Amino acid sequence: MWSDALRVAPQRIDPLSWIARPLVSLSFALVALVYGLVSVAVTWSLSQQPGLDLLAVALITAACVWVQLTTGPLKPPFGAARASVALVLGIAGIAASSVAVSSSTIEVQYWWAPAGLGLLIATCGPYSSAIRVTVYGCILTAVTALATVAGFSAHTGTWSLLSTVVIGCSAVGVGTVATAVFCFRVAGQSQRLLARAGVPLAADEAVRDAAARRAEIGTLARLGSRVAPFLEGIADAGFVTAADRALAGQLARRLRSDLVSQANRTWLDSLALSGRIYVVDPDRRADTMNAAQRSAVRGLVLAVMADPVTDSGSLFIELRGQDDGSTAVALSLDIDLPEGRRVLLLAPYYVALKTTVNEISWDPTHDLLRFRLPPGRRR
């Protein structure tokens, strides 16, 4: 629903792409720093207090850096409390710049500070919902209007006071609208992607029971195919020979070995029977996963195995017990896909896992997914 897309931050609904590009905020901070310094240098001789403009550049850049330091896949959501620090720094920056331009001959169209606040809004965009971005933008637009009046009301030029305010606020307004539309589109498209993916967060009991029965029937049929011909031969002959007794002993040992292996095999080991996945689980930690965790991991493994570019044995899963009873899981995927297709393949399962496991992280350089299972009941 479009109303849901307004309330979800792009990084929360599509975290994988923002993990692959973790320096979004620093990029905007660098642009704000360079743009501010160049503007101050060009207009240095026109201002009586250029030092205040340098302070404004530092404050607005620090606001963008603050967003970088407080956001990330393993950190709490970027809420109003963290955003308020960035807004206060930005407001302090434009206030200092307003004092600087009040004693200068700079025209409002050459004032750099509103563009800096527009970059600050864009910095918050990936980590804020469209509604929050709109609220932040309205606050900064109102502050920019006041700063414009304070800084340029005494200037006599070709612009009226109303036109001066409109020009001063235009960069902040454009930044707010563009960022809000970006957040809405990313959240909406990601929600539709997840809906089509249909990754269940909790497997249905009836479906799991039916799958277990089918697996059991298949195992019994495979074992029975070895014994049935032998028993039919005994029945047709009407007597048992010494060779029959020896063969019966061999069949019994093989059946016992198969049954023990079947009983000791986890659901993850069963997936590995196809030969396209390698599992290291010496302590049978896979059985400690709950239904939601199994569904997400199974869906990810099956999706990667079904892709024709995946080589046999290119999936590697290792589960190791930790001192606190939790389980560390590492999943290595050797898939030769462009970044866009790889994100499209993995993002739904990453989002599903994120709701059920701890300390999940993705290394795009080595295609390595790590997470930790909380202590659970051993089966």
CATH assignment at residue 281: 3.30.565
Q: Domains in the chain: how many in total?
A: 3
- Residue 224 pLDDT: 64
* Element containing residue 321 per DSSP (H, E): strand 310-321
- Residue 156 pLDDT: 64
Model pTM?
0.58
Do 351 and 338 lie in one domain? The reply is yes
Half-sphere exposure of 135 (CA within 13 A, CB side): 11
pLDDT tens digits, residue range 138-164? 999 999 999 999 988 887 667 888 999
Do 212 and 189 lie in one domain? The reply is no
Do 157 and 211 lie in one domain? The reply is no
Task: Tell me: pLDDT of 244 over 60.
Answer: yes
Last residue of a domain, one of 197, 220, 255: 197
Do 242 and 337 lie in one domain? The reply is no
Do 327 and 290 lie in one domain? The reply is yes
pLDDT tens digits, residue range 168-181? 999 999 999 999 99
More confident of the two residues 276 and 177? 177
Under the banding of pLDDT at 50, 70 and 90, the label for residue 29 is: very high
Task: Tell me: pLDDT of 305 over 80.
Answer: no
Task: Tell me: pLDDT of 379 over 50.
Answer: no
pLDDT tens digits, residue range 338-352? 665 666 667 777 777
Do 362 and 252 lie in one domain? The reply is no
Range of the domain at 320: 270-379
Last residue of a domain, one of 220, 247, 264: 264
Cα distances (Å, whole numbers) of residue 311 to 129, 273, 362: 39, 15, 21
Do 130 and 81 lie in one domain? The reply is yes
- Residue 205 pLDDT: 44
Q: Is 328 exposed, middle or buried (0-12, 13-18, 19+ CB in 10 A)?
A: middle
Last residue of a domain, one of 225, 244, 264: 264
- Residue 200 pLDDT: 44
Closest CA to 111 of 79, 145, 70: 145
Lowest mean pLDDT among 6-10, 77-81, 291-295: 291-295
